[in-house]
Structure 1
Amino acid sequence: MRENVEVIVKIAYTTEKNKEVVMLRTKSEAIYQKACAVIPGGVNSPVRAFSGLGTSPLIVESGKGALIRDVDGNVFIDYCLSWGPMILGHAHPAVVKGVSEQMAKGSSFGIATEIEQRLAEKIVHLIPTLEKIRFVSSGTEATMTALRLARGYTERPKIIKLIGNYHGHHDALLVQAGSGVSSLNPLATSKGIHAGAIADTLLFSFNDTEALRSFFRTHPMAEQVAAVIVEPVAGNMGVVPPE
């Protein structure tokens, strides 16, 4: 176990002075070390590892509204929102009530239910551009299925993605950043991804619409493109507004 289980957190104020506070991490560190013995890297998703912050992960105990509390009693404002879906905050009474009522009827059946049909109708009503919807368990499954659908419908093999955009961890889109049309031969971000899995993935710079237009106007490979996939509000490349 690491000797130092306290992390110095720098808090920026509106004044010119910065203050430092010591955040207790004893329980989080102990749980993380135990997790490393049974879970690769101690976490079930790389984004939870905190490796870019130079420290071990926080271990969350509970959440309420906009706040989360870790096992050491530290309280934080949650700006991640479970990476998107917790837009109503944690433990919202209406959500807790609805989930509890459904759990009393059963948790999972593996066959169709009426509640799926009702939810699909609601979403299609709220988003007029949607004609139909299919539910999956993760964003990775959603984008993977979308690529398969685009390729099947167009009978074309190529997919264009934008540098810095994240679309899940399936092989075809987990590729390294490049720049413009020079990135027609992308490099895998992770070991274990075969070159053949990303051979049909083309990369373009985010917000470089002119390069994309030029490609479709002049490049012979353009006729092989089945789809362009975009993450308009990017989550893995800092604050870069779409233009």
Structure 2
Amino acid sequence: MSISRTIAIRRPLARRAALASLLILPALAFALWNQPITAQEAPVVIPAPTKAFSETGTTATAVFAGGCFWGVQGVFQHVKGVTRAVSGYSGGAAETATYELTGSGTTGHAEAVEVTYDPSVVSYGELLQIYFSVAHNPTQLNYQGPDRGTQYRSTIFPVTPEQGEYAEAYIAELDAADLFEGPIVTTIEPFQAFYAAEQYHQDFLTLNPTWPYIVVHDLPKIAALKAIFPDAYRDEPVLVGAL
């Protein structure tokens, strides 16, 4: 997360007082949910994978990293068929899976989101399409918008070999379609473990819709999800609550 986000969490009251003159009115922030607004990580309309992903059962898991986990979690919480989306860390060791240590950019962790979903409602392929289209910008190497560092890298952590092969093939399709302003830099890294982030990071977008960072960088992603994927969008997010 950026330094400004770090300060905001550590000293929320002081930060809010210092930025009082810059805060956007709550009514305007709520209105942004339904407006065609644009963020630095602007959405791109892309085709779905050409091949279906074979899945069985009613529960499956996917792990995605794409910058600040507030926005990525918020997007998937609004997707029909997603039963749980948890912000956390993946890519490093258990003992370094904390906000403070991950923020150093030296742990190997990326801010990630573990998505639990029902394959009979939403497929892994559809989740990938949403991930590349509206959840983040896959052409930004080791950063997203104002957030810099390897902890903000665009990465897929496949929980099965089939997920990894499917994601790799889809990336090749998207690069061939040449719809982005640059090559996709998303990496596919071996999944070792996912560690849930601290409680104050969970459901952050929903609980803090007037937070300036959320208004500027994340609410546009929700608006884009609703506009580009209306059949997959649901108004009420599925929340983590107490872990």
TM-score of the superposed pair, with normalisation by structure 1: 0.22
Of the two, which has the highest radius of gyration? 1
TM-score of the superposed pair, with normalisation by structure 2: 0.22
